[in-house]
Amino acid sequence: MQQVILSILMCLCIGLSAQDFKGFNPLEARSTLALCNSYTFLELYGSDTKIIPKDYRRVFTSEVKGLDNKFQVYRSGNTGVINFRGSTDKLVSWLENIYSAMVPAIGVIHYNEQDYPYKFAEDTLAAVHSGYALGISLLSPQLIQQIEDLNQNGIYDILITGHSQGGALAHLCRAYFENLPPGTISLSNRFKTYSYANPMCGNLEFAEEYKQRYVDNQTSFSLINPNDPIPKMPMGYAEGEKLISAGRVFDWITKKEEFDMKQLGVETVMRGFEGGLTSYINASNRLIERILSTSRGVVDLPDYRRDINYYQVGEVILLDAPVYPQIKIDITDMPEKRVSKMKQAEDGNYYKEEPSYYQHKPYNYYVSLLKMYFPNTYTTLEVPYLIENLD
């Protein structure tokens, strides 16, 4: 009888533990987004100690692979974190972003006479971003080894995170782990994804399967600033939806959907010329593939799909857009011609204009998240923005 009661209690504990790991957790989001800022702080200041949460310890930093991709591994109690780096200022890193022709979600990448079989979905119609698929595939041996190392230390609850390009890699890494052949990693592993400012990484079929398997069970989240242009890339449009309909006009009027003439024009062009755009993107990506083969090693991907329509994945959570601070400009010694091109504020002064991609910066995402979920921490924040992000 005692043994039966003990078994029941164990089952209840396992059930409660499984339930605890599901769902959006603001504390997990704050910690993972702080970790995403590690790369920025290391680059700017040579140290990330001021941004890394005290209860997280970095235990591994990967080799740089492929198109300047790398990841870190952290531990905190019984939780592990895999943190992907976003785009760097190297050309090859940006080539990964525009290497956006889609390949089947199941296939083999050949790189420097080595095969990297991959599977990101069950659906044979699913397709994914070539550059990001290449990134995960080349990092896969290190990723699998790190999962095994975490397991050897009794860690099976694993958060996967990243900002920007790193966020897209986080989503694909999740799909990669969940579709590994049986026996590759332990079935006891439980994954949850927190992605920030991520561009899109797959087509409709990939997004639908991703939703069914990881979003509906509340283990995948994409936190996005609506003023950030990167999560809208590569371009996509809603299949089966009229460009202008009564419902869409109503949404514009009631502000459920922001009216964007430029985006409407993009959708019109994409639908009217999708065949030509697909051919152009596929041809240009084969050129990128040849460039990479001469500079990074021989790259051979599966045949591209005739699909360029991307969809966002993960349960989308919108953050408030950061406010660019008012920085007064002294025009005393400025040439009159330059001043004439500047916009004068209502108070008669001139202020610095918000730079491109200010809305995309990882530290600004961190501050926005604090403002939404941790207002007391936000109001006492010593550094509301990074000086280096203001130019």
| Cα→Cα distances 80→58, 118, 227, 306, Å | 10, 23, 31, 38
For 306, counting Cβ atoms within 10 Å of its Cβ (0-12 exposed, 13-18 middle, 19+ buried), the class is middle
Q: Could you report the per-residue pLDDT of 206-231, keeping only the tens digit for each?
A: 999 999 999 999 999 999 999 999 99
Q: Per the domain annotation, does 343 fall within a domain?
A: no
For 125, counting Cβ atoms within 10 Å of its Cβ (0-12 exposed, 13-18 middle, 19+ buried), the class is middle
User: Residue 195: which of 279, 313, 60, 304 has the closest Cα?
Assistant: 313
| CATH code where residue 306 lies | 3.40.50.1820
User: Residue 155: which of 192, 194, 189 has the closest Cα?
Assistant: 189
- Those residues whose C-beta lies under 8 Å from the C-beta of residue 344, and which sit 6 or more positions away, are 350
CB 73 within 8 A of CB 145: no
Q: Per the domain annotation, does 122 fall within a domain?
A: yes
How many structural domains does the chain have? Answer: 1
User: Residue 161: which of 36, 75, 66 has the closest Cα?
Assistant: 36
pLDDT, position 109: 96
How far is 191 from 185, CA to CA, in rounded Å? Answer: 12
- The SS3 call for residue 121 is coil
Hey, which bits of 190-242 come out as E strands? 190-196, 220-224
pLDDT, position 91: 81
Q: Per the domain annotation, does 372 fall within a domain?
A: no
CB 171 within 8 A of CB 310: no
**pLDDT mean by block of 10 residues, the chain; 391 residues:** 44 48 97 98 97 97 94 98 95 83 96 94 97 96 98 98 98 98 97 97 97 98 96 66 42 50 42 48 67 72 89 97 89 76 78 90 98 97 95 89
Question: Residue 108's beta-bridge partner residues?
Answer: 117
Q: Per the domain annotation, does 6 fall within a domain?
A: no
Q: Per the domain annotation, does 346 fall within a domain?
A: no
pLDDT, position 123: 98
pLDDT, position 294: 64
pLDDT, position 333: 75
Question: Residue 316's beta-bridge partner residues?
Answer: 222
Q: Per the domain annotation, does 219 fall within a domain?
A: yes
Give the count of beta carbons closer than 10 Å to the beta carbon of residue 370: 21
Q: Per the domain annotation, does 214 fall within a domain?
A: yes
pLDDT, position 334: 78
Q: Per the domain annotation, does 285 fall within a domain?
A: no
Domain span at residue 219 reads 22-237+296-318
Q: Report residue 193 CA to chain centroid gap.
A: 10
User: Residue 69: which of 152, 180, 196, 170 has the closest Cα?
Assistant: 170
pLDDT, position 190: 98
CB burial of 152-187 (b: ≥16 within 10 Å; e: otherwise) equals eeebbbbbbbbbbbbbbbbbbbbbbbbbeeeeebee
- The SS3 call for residue 384 is coil
